[in-house]
Protein backbone atom coordinates (compact mmCIF):
# COMPACT_ATOMS: atom_id res chain seq x y z
CA UNK A 1 0.00 0.00 0.00
CA UNK A 2 1.22 3.47 -0.84
CA UNK A 3 1.39 6.05 1.96
CA UNK A 4 1.70 9.73 1.13
CA UNK A 5 2.22 11.75 4.26
CA UNK A 6 3.95 14.74 2.73
CA UNK A 7 2.68 16.11 -0.57
CA UNK A 8 5.33 18.69 -1.38
CA UNK A 9 9.02 17.86 -1.29
CA UNK A 10 10.52 20.79 -3.26
CA UNK A 11 12.58 18.20 -5.15
CA UNK A 12 10.81 19.06 -8.42
CA UNK A 13 11.22 22.83 -8.20
CA UNK A 14 14.04 22.83 -10.75
CA UNK A 15 12.33 20.75 -13.42
CA UNK A 16 13.43 17.33 -12.23
CA UNK A 17 11.49 14.41 -10.83
CA UNK A 18 12.25 10.81 -9.93
CA UNK A 19 11.06 7.60 -11.48
CA UNK A 20 9.94 4.74 -9.28
CA UNK A 21 13.21 3.35 -7.98
CA UNK A 22 14.78 6.78 -7.53
CA UNK A 23 16.24 7.48 -10.98
CA UNK A 24 16.29 11.27 -11.51
CA UNK A 25 14.70 12.45 -14.76
CA UNK A 26 13.78 15.74 -16.41
CA UNK A 27 10.11 16.65 -16.31
CA UNK A 28 10.23 17.27 -20.07
CA UNK A 29 11.49 13.77 -20.87
CA UNK A 30 9.40 11.56 -23.19
CA UNK A 31 8.82 9.08 -20.34
CA UNK A 32 7.36 11.75 -18.06
CA UNK A 33 5.20 13.04 -20.93
CA UNK A 34 3.95 9.49 -21.53
CA UNK A 35 2.84 8.73 -17.99
CA UNK A 36 1.57 12.30 -17.56
CA UNK A 37 -0.77 11.84 -20.52
CA UNK A 38 -2.01 8.54 -19.09
CA UNK A 39 -2.73 10.47 -15.86
CA UNK A 40 -4.61 13.13 -17.85
CA UNK A 41 -6.65 10.41 -19.56
CA UNK A 42 -7.48 8.94 -16.16
CA UNK A 43 -8.71 12.34 -14.94
CA UNK A 44 -10.90 12.75 -18.04
CA UNK A 45 -12.42 9.32 -17.47
CA UNK A 46 -13.13 10.34 -13.88
CA UNK A 47 -15.31 13.15 -15.21
CA UNK A 48 -17.20 10.72 -17.43
CA UNK A 49 -17.64 8.25 -14.59
CA UNK A 50 -19.22 10.93 -12.38
CA UNK A 51 -21.70 11.67 -15.17
CA UNK A 52 -22.72 7.98 -15.14
CA UNK A 53 -22.95 7.69 -11.34
CA UNK A 54 -26.48 6.98 -10.13
CA UNK A 55 -27.92 6.16 -13.58
CA UNK A 56 -29.12 2.56 -13.44
CA UNK A 57 -29.02 2.02 -17.22
CA UNK A 58 -25.42 3.32 -17.28
CA UNK A 59 -24.14 1.26 -14.34
CA UNK A 60 -22.29 -1.08 -16.72
CA UNK A 61 -20.23 1.79 -18.12
CA UNK A 62 -19.64 3.17 -14.63
CA UNK A 63 -18.17 -0.19 -13.59
CA UNK A 64 -16.14 -0.49 -16.80
CA UNK A 65 -14.63 2.96 -16.29
CA UNK A 66 -13.83 2.21 -12.65
CA UNK A 67 -11.86 -0.85 -13.75
CA UNK A 68 -10.18 1.04 -16.61
CA UNK A 69 -9.13 3.88 -14.29
CA UNK A 70 -7.42 1.40 -11.97
CA UNK A 71 -5.70 -0.26 -14.95
CA UNK A 72 -4.52 3.14 -16.19
CA UNK A 73 -3.02 3.80 -12.77
CA UNK A 74 -1.16 0.49 -13.09
CA UNK A 75 -0.03 1.57 -16.56
CA UNK A 76 1.21 4.87 -15.20
CA UNK A 77 3.24 3.09 -12.54
CA UNK A 78 4.81 0.86 -15.21
CA UNK A 79 5.73 3.87 -17.32
CA UNK A 80 6.99 5.78 -14.27
CA UNK A 81 9.40 2.98 -13.41
CA UNK A 82 12.94 2.96 -14.73
CA UNK A 83 12.99 -0.17 -16.93
CA UNK A 84 16.18 -1.29 -15.15
CA UNK A 85 14.43 -1.00 -11.76
CA UNK A 86 11.44 -3.32 -12.35
CA UNK A 87 10.37 -5.16 -9.22
CA UNK A 88 8.74 -8.48 -8.48
CA UNK A 89 4.96 -8.18 -8.40
CA UNK A 90 5.02 -5.02 -10.52
CA UNK A 91 1.66 -4.41 -12.25
CA UNK A 92 1.37 -5.45 -15.87
CA UNK A 93 -1.01 -5.03 -18.75
CA UNK A 94 -1.72 -8.57 -19.92
CA UNK A 95 -3.49 -10.26 -22.81
CA UNK A 96 -6.52 -10.76 -20.54
CA UNK A 97 -6.81 -6.97 -20.16
CA UNK A 98 -6.93 -6.65 -23.95
CA UNK A 99 -9.54 -9.41 -24.29
CA UNK A 100 -11.63 -7.73 -21.59
CA UNK A 101 -11.62 -4.44 -23.55
CA UNK A 102 -12.64 -6.27 -26.72
CA UNK A 103 -15.49 -7.98 -24.87
CA UNK A 104 -16.79 -4.65 -23.61
CA UNK A 105 -16.56 -3.17 -27.11
CA UNK A 106 -18.58 -6.05 -28.55
CA UNK A 107 -21.20 -5.81 -25.79
CA UNK A 108 -21.77 -2.06 -26.18
CA UNK A 109 -21.58 -2.13 -29.98
CA UNK A 110 -24.01 -5.00 -30.63
CA UNK A 111 -27.19 -2.89 -30.61
CA UNK A 112 -25.80 0.28 -32.19
CA UNK A 113 -26.93 1.30 -35.66
CA UNK A 114 -24.49 0.93 -38.54
CA UNK A 115 -22.50 4.06 -39.31
CA UNK A 116 -22.64 5.70 -42.75
CA UNK A 117 -20.58 8.74 -41.77
CA UNK A 118 -17.97 9.86 -39.28
CA UNK A 119 -19.36 10.90 -35.90
CA UNK A 120 -18.88 14.37 -34.45
CA UNK A 121 -18.55 14.73 -30.68
CA UNK A 122 -21.74 16.06 -29.10
CA UNK A 123 -25.32 15.03 -28.62
CA UNK A 124 -25.03 14.83 -24.85
CA UNK A 125 -22.62 16.17 -22.27
CA UNK A 126 -21.37 12.68 -21.44
CA UNK A 127 -20.87 11.89 -25.14
CA UNK A 128 -18.74 15.01 -25.53
CA UNK A 129 -16.58 14.15 -22.52
CA UNK A 130 -16.16 10.54 -23.68
CA UNK A 131 -14.94 11.80 -27.06
CA UNK A 132 -12.57 14.19 -25.28
CA UNK A 133 -11.20 11.25 -23.26
CA UNK A 134 -10.87 9.27 -26.51
CA UNK A 135 -8.71 11.98 -28.06
CA UNK A 136 -6.56 12.19 -24.91
CA UNK A 137 -6.19 8.41 -25.14
CA UNK A 138 -4.97 8.74 -28.73
CA UNK A 139 -2.47 11.41 -27.68
CA UNK A 140 -1.17 9.20 -24.87
CA UNK A 141 -0.84 6.37 -27.37
CA UNK A 142 1.21 8.59 -29.70
CA UNK A 143 3.49 9.70 -26.85
CA UNK A 144 4.07 6.14 -25.70
CA UNK A 145 4.69 5.02 -29.29
CA UNK A 146 7.32 7.75 -29.56
CA UNK A 147 8.85 6.68 -26.23
CA UNK A 148 8.96 3.05 -27.41
CA UNK A 149 11.20 4.08 -30.32
CA UNK A 150 14.01 4.90 -27.89
CA UNK A 151 13.22 3.06 -24.64
CA UNK A 152 11.66 -0.27 -23.71
CA UNK A 153 7.87 -0.17 -23.29
CA UNK A 154 5.75 -3.29 -22.80
CA UNK A 155 3.95 -3.94 -26.11
CA UNK A 156 0.57 -4.53 -24.46
CA UNK A 157 0.49 -0.93 -23.24
CA UNK A 158 0.18 0.39 -26.80
CA UNK A 159 -2.35 -2.29 -27.71
CA UNK A 160 -4.38 -1.50 -24.57
CA UNK A 161 -4.59 2.21 -25.44
CA UNK A 162 -5.55 1.41 -29.02
CA UNK A 163 -8.40 -0.82 -27.81
CA UNK A 164 -9.39 1.68 -25.12
CA UNK A 165 -9.85 4.44 -27.70
CA UNK A 166 -12.09 2.04 -29.66
CA UNK A 167 -14.05 1.30 -26.49
CA UNK A 168 -14.49 5.02 -25.81
CA UNK A 169 -15.72 5.62 -29.37
CA UNK A 170 -18.33 2.87 -28.99
CA UNK A 171 -19.23 4.03 -25.46
CA UNK A 172 -19.85 7.57 -26.73
CA UNK A 173 -22.23 6.22 -29.38
CA UNK A 174 -23.90 3.92 -26.81
CA UNK A 175 -24.42 6.84 -24.42
CA UNK A 176 -26.28 8.89 -27.04
CA UNK A 177 -28.52 5.91 -27.77
CA UNK A 178 -29.27 5.49 -24.04
CA UNK A 179 -30.40 9.12 -23.94
CA UNK A 180 -32.50 8.61 -27.10
CA UNK A 181 -30.67 11.44 -28.84
CA UNK A 182 -29.39 11.67 -32.38
CA UNK A 183 -25.71 11.31 -33.10
CA UNK A 184 -24.03 14.28 -34.71
CA UNK A 185 -22.75 13.07 -38.07
CA UNK A 186 -20.11 14.69 -40.24
CA UNK A 187 -21.47 16.40 -43.34
CA UNK A 188 -18.50 16.69 -45.73
CA UNK A 189 -17.65 19.56 -48.01
CA UNK A 190 -19.16 22.39 -46.03
CA UNK A 191 -22.71 21.39 -46.90
CA UNK A 192 -23.92 21.19 -43.30
CA UNK A 193 -27.03 23.27 -42.75
CA UNK A 194 -27.24 25.87 -40.03
CA UNK A 195 -30.76 26.30 -38.74
Q: What digits encode the pLDDT tens for the residues 126-161?
A: 999 999 999 999 999 999 999 999 999 999 999 999
Q: Name the nearest CA neighbour of 42 among 121, 140, 113.
A: 140
Predicted model pTM: 0.91
**Which residue intervals of 26-124 are DSSP H helices?**
30-52, 59-79, 95-109
For the segment 61-118, what is each residue's pLDDT rounded down to a tens digit? Answer: 999 999 999 999 999 999 999 988 888 899 999 999 999 999 999 999 999 989 888 9
What's the CATH class of domain 29-82+92-184?
Answer: mainly alpha
Amino acid sequence: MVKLNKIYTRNGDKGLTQLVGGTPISKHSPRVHAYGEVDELNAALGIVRTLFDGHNQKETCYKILTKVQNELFDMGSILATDPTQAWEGMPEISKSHLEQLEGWIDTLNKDLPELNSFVLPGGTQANSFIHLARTICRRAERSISSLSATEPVPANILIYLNRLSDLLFVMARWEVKQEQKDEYLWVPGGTAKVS
